[in-house]
Amino acid sequence: MKQTYKCKLRLKTEIAPGIFDYVVEAPEIAAEAKTGQFLHINCGGRTSLRRPISICDFDEGFVRFAFQVKGEGTEKLSRLDPGDVIDIMGPLGNGFTVNEGERAVIIGGGIGVFPLLRLARYHQDAPVFLGFRTKELICMEDDFNEANDNVVICTDDGSYGYNGFAVAAMGEYLMEHEVDMIYCCGPTPMLKTVKQIAEYRRIPCQISLEQRMGCGIGACLTCVCETKGEGMAKYKQVCSAGPVFDSREVIL
Ligand SMILES: Cc1cc2nc3c(=O)[nH]c(=O)nc-3n(C[C@H](O)[C@H](O)[C@H](O)COP(=O)(O)OP(=O)(O)OC[C@H]3O[C@@H](n4cnc5c(N)ncnc54)[C@H](O)[C@@H]3O)c2cc1C
Ligand code: FES
| Ligand located closest to 93 CA | 1
Confidence of residue 1 (pLDDT cuts 50, 70, 90): low
Confidence of residue 229 (pLDDT cuts 50, 70, 90): confident
CATH 2.40.30.10 correct for 4-92:
yes
What are the structural domain ranges in the chain?
Answer: 4-92, 104-208
> DSSP 3-state assignment of 82?
coil
pLDDT averaged over every residue in the chain: 95
Q: What percent of the chain has pLDDT over 70?
A: 98
> DSSP 3-state assignment of 75?
helix
CA distance 152 to 126: 11
- CB of 215 within 6 A of ligand 2: the answer is yes
Which residue in 140, 137, 191, 188 sits closest to 17, CA to CA?
A: 137
CATH 3.40.50.80 correct for 104-208:
yes
How far is the centre of ligand 1, averaged over its atoms, from the C-alpha of 70 (Å)?
7
- Cα 216 to Cα 31, 75, 121, 182: the distances in Å are 20, 20, 27, 26
Backbone dihedral angles phi then psi of residue 7, each to the nearest 5 degrees = -115, 130
Ligand 2 atom at minimum distance from 214 CA: 1
Ligand 1 atom at minimum distance from 239 CA: 1
Q: What is the pTM of this model?
A: 0.95
